[in-house]
Structure 1
Amino acid sequence: MKTQVAIIGAGPAGLLLGQLLHKAGIDNIIIERQTPEYVLSRIRAGVLEQGMVDLLRIAGVSQRMDSEGLPHDGFELAFAGRRERIDLKHLTDGKTVMIYGQTEVTRDLMQAREASGAKTFYNVKNAQLHDLKGNKPYVTFILNNKAVRLDCDHIAGCDGFHGVSRQSIPEGVLKEFERVYPFGWLGVLADTPPVNEELIYANHERGFALCSMRSPTRTRYYVQVAAQEKVKDWSDQRFWDELKSRLPVDIAERLVTGPSIEKSIAPLRSYVVEPMQYGHLFLLGDAAHIVPPTGAKGLNLAASDVNTLYRILLKVYRDGRTDLLERYSEVCLKRVWKAERFSWWMTSMLHKFPDTDAFSQRMQQTELDYFVGSEAGRKTIAENYVGLPFEPIE
């Protein structure tokens, strides 16, 4: 079996890259170790940057997003008894974000790929990558109890932090940068109306809280919890009570509660590997980097990697610009580290750390007050939140 680009992983990054390449006439095959149902069951991000929204439109999969998604012109920061709105549209010359769940993005991409006839193999076992530094890379795997060899020009590793792609790079090649935070986010999904028309990020002495949403009738709320907390110890009532205690009084009073339809705890960490490529293997998304969810950058950063590799491969196959392949990691990492910085800043400013004392709490509030107290500070927050421009490939 042969293709031009072998894509490992059928999450949103792999599917988006596959869709873009297919529309450009570049043959690709996606292999995925899980079932389609499992991939769709993941409850993940819901805030799409302007750049990712534009990329989904280029890929021709934006119809449902444009009709059902919720464009947001701003969001709120709540701290020290105040609510401060960051006017994204005004501060970034018209850019906004889109509230549209990652599950829905994945569903749209799956349907588009099925309609296109492009090949995706699910339930793949024992995938292995070979000859990554040679002239003829290939992937072997087991499909329906049969051994398969997939020859290709390039391999896109979109299979997440625990996937085979990064693990296929020899020891000593990659440099790892990591910070593990001493807390997590307890998230609840509920069929209740949003408490506010825009997202609210709250800094409170009891810990961080976030009021988000998936639709006008489905909400997603989070509270910061200790890293060792267990979901089973949090009843719905305990969650709602804790959330209310961390929100401004006027917001807490109008919060509509209800039974949770999903509840989970997500640990927070920052992680980057350098370089993001090894020979003909290119790492994308969680295979190369993880950000705390505070800045809403995880899925968007994966889309940024997709954009970079897609633009480079267009040049390679249309113009013979194989020299650009060596620039992938350098181009991606510029934007990766800027997104890591913003996510680190948001996490540092809004959460309560184990060593947070009265002085540290005041410093957090003063830092937030400084940024929201000037047009320049608000613009810095806004331009990072809607997403910095994609880096040019040359």
Structure 2
Amino acid sequence: MRTTVAIIGAGPAGLLLARLLHRAGVDCVVLEARDRAYVERRQRAGMLEQGAADVLRECGAGDRLDREGLVHRGFELRFEGEAHRVDLPSLTGGRTVTLYPQTEVVKDLIALQLADGPPLLFGARVVAVEKTDGEQPLIRFVTEEPDGTDRTDGTDGTDGAEGPSGPAGPAGPERTLECEYVAGCDGSYGASRRALPPGAVRMHARTYPYSWLGILADVAPSSDELLLAGHERGFALHSMRTPALSRLYIQVPNGTSPGDWPDDRIWDELDVRLAAGGWRLQRGPVLTKSVSGLRSQVIEPMRHGRLLLAGDAAHIVPPSAAKGLNLAFGDVVTMARAFTHWHRSGSTSLIDRYSDNCLRRVWQAQAFSHEMTTLLHTPPGADAYDRAMQLTRLRRLTGPTAAAAELAENYAGAPLI
């Protein structure tokens, strides 16, 4: 097989890149290790900045998003038993965000690609990415039959990449795909990351000293907007999956097992941490329960030869600011522009600047995600001084200050098109 751009990974980043390249007339092939059913069940966060939603509309994937997505014009910061609303449109010139599960984004993009798009091969596990320093990279892959095992990990609120793939079914003969460039969109455990030669890139990493315990509950959300609480006992988040399903999180120590927290204990703790005035949290049956760690990673540069990294293959952010999916979309929009410019003009100038252009946005999102994480979480061993400093920062962000406007700007994100 041969193509112009080989895309490894059929998550939202790889699928959006394929759509953008197809519309620009650039040949590409997408290789995805999992089967379609698994990919369409894979649960991840789904808060779209307006720029990300606009890109989906522009490439033809906006119909269901506009029908079913939950548009949010603000969110609440809660602390000391008070609620402080951040109004996004008034602070950002009209921008909003939309809650639309990543699962549904992937379904929409897969349907478009299979109906009118470049080849998408499921069950195609990449075993090697070679010759990325040359003019014609080579990808070796095998096709595998699904083994019927549901490997969904249930952690649908975080932006972290999933772990290494589990066992698959019987593998067919090895096949090869020649290309001009490789787009690595297969996460931090994928073949693209493994293809980087030792010493070719620098890894910046941070693991946070706490985790999130998340639940999906069969109860209508108790608020129309997201609620983020910075309580002395730890962070809490009230979100939603649909108008009938609530998604909620609380900060817990690293190493916590979901079994350590019976349902009633979770609801009781959420009541305490989210309390504000006369507001009441509605309880319901807990459908899923999981614990996820918080971490940050950045690969510099995001390119090695003819291999370009995007999304979780290049960076991980803690979920506190919901930037993971949006950063991935920013990467592939930048990448698509670079490949299109090269395809039409023969110039590699935008490809050569791809990493630098992306990393400016990536580090800005990392800084904001780190700020939101440390602002709202209580670190182990925190004392009264630490709490006073945290409350001072929170009050500054909820007053009529430039900091409040900066918070809204970072939360809503910048346009991508």
Q: Is TM more than 0.5 here? A: yes
Which residue is equivalent to 1:51?
51
User: How far apart are 1:374 and its partner, in Å?
Assistant: 2.2
Contact 2:31 2:125 in 1 (8 A): no
Corresponding residue for residue 4 of structure 1: 4
Task: Confirm or deny that 1:314 pairs with 2:340.
Answer: yes
Give the counterpart of 1:205 among 191, 207, 232. 232
Q: Which amino acid aligns with 1:190?
A: A
Q: Is the 8 A contact 2:234 2:378 kept in 1?
A: yes
- The one of 246, 255, 264 equivalent to 2:273 is 246
Shift of 1:126: 4.5
Corresponding residue of 1:374: 400
Q: Distance in 2 between matches of 1:158 and 1:55?
A: 18
| Runs of 4 or more above 3 Å deviation | none
Mean Cα deviation higher: 134-143 or 109-118: 109-118
* 1:138 equivalent in structure 2: 138
Q: Residue 159 of structure 2 aligns with which residue?
A: none
Instruction: Tell me which moved more, 196-205 or 108-117.
Output: 108-117
Q: Distance in 2 between the 1:287 and 1:121 partners?
A: 20
Q: Which piece of structure 1 moves more, 199-208 or 42-51? A: 42-51
Q: Shift of residue 323 of structure 1?
A: 2.1
SS at structure 2 position matched to 1:208 = strand
Instruction: Letter of the 1:290 partner, please give it.
Output: I
Equivalent residue letter for 1:284: A
Question: Structure 1 residues 140-149 or 46-55, which shifts more?
Answer: 140-149
Other-structure match for 1:332: 358
Taking the aligned partners of 2:49 and 2:127, their CA distance within structure 1 comes to 32
Deviation for aligned residue 1:355: 2.8
Alignment TM-score, normalising by the size of structure 2: 0.91
Normalised to the residue count of structure 1, the TM-score between the two structures is 0.96
For 2:329 and 2:13, locate their aligned partners in 1 and report how far apart those are by CA, in whole Å. Answer: 6
Q: Aligned pair 1:292/2:315, yes or no?
A: no
Distance in structure 2 (CA, Å) of the matches to 1:249 and 1:137: 57
Structure 1 CA distance, aligned partners of 2:69 and 2:127?
36
What is residue 281 of structure 2 aligned with on the other side? 255
Secondary structure in 1 matching 2:123: coil
C-alpha RMSD of matched pairs (Å): 1.4
In the alignment, the residues of structure 1 paired with residue 38 and residue 381 of structure 2 have an alpha-carbon distance, to the nearest angstrom, of 39
Match of 2:370 among 331, 339, 344: 344
Distance 2:264 2:42 in 1: 24
CA shift for structure 1 position 117: 4.6
Is residue 65 of structure 1 aligned with residue 65 of structure 2? yes
Q: How far apart are 1:110 and its partner, in Å?
A: 1.0
Deviation at 1:233, TM superposition (A): 2.0
SS of residue matched to 1:192? coil
Counterpart in the other structure of 2:381: 355
Partner of 1:22: 22
Q: Give 1:365's aligned residue.
A: 391
Please show how residues 122-137 of structure 1 align to structure 2 within 5 Å: 122-137=122-137
Greater alpha carbon shift after TM alignment, 377-386 vs 108-117: 108-117
1:229 to 2:250 alignment: no
1:214 aligns with 241
116-125 vs 312-321, greater mean Cα deviation: 116-125
Which amino acid letter does the alignment assign opposite residue 27 of structure 1?
D
Aligned residue in 1 for 2:186? 159
Shift of 1:192: 1.1
Tell me which moved more, 114-123 or 67-76: 114-123
**How far did residue 389 of structure 1 move?**
4.2
Q: Residues 25-36 of structure 1 correspond to what in structure 2 (within 5 A)?
A: 25-36=25-36
Q: Deviations over 1:178-220 (max 9, x none)?
A: 1100111111112211111110000001100000112211111
- What CA deviation, in whole Å up to 9, does each residue of 1:330-382 have, x standing for no partner? 00000000000000000010001013111101110111101221241211000
For 1:216 and 1:375, the matched residues in 2 are separated by 33
| Partner Cα distance (2:248, 2:286) in 1 | 10
Q: Which residue is equivalent to 1:302? A: 328
Deviation, 1:142, is 1.1
Letter in 1 for 2:83: R
Equivalent in the alignment of 1:180:
207
Distance 1:293 1:168 in 2: 27
Q: Structure 2 CA distance, aligned partners of 1:146 and 1:118?
A: 23
The amino acid of 1:334's aligned partner reads R
Which position in structure 1 is the counterpart of 2:164? Answer: none
2:165 corresponds in structure 1 to none
How far apart are residue 167 of structure 1 and its match? 1.2
- Secondary structure of 2:221's match? coil
Aligned to 2:150: none
Amino acid at match of 1:312: A
Check whether the contact 2:130–2:138 (CA below 8 A) recurs between aligned residues: yes
C-alpha distance in 2, partners of 1:84/1:93? 20
Residue 89 of structure 2 corresponds to 89
The amino acid that maps onto 2:103 is: T
SS at match of 1:203: strand
Aligned-partner Cα distance in 1 for 2:267–2:397: 30
Partner of 2:218: 191
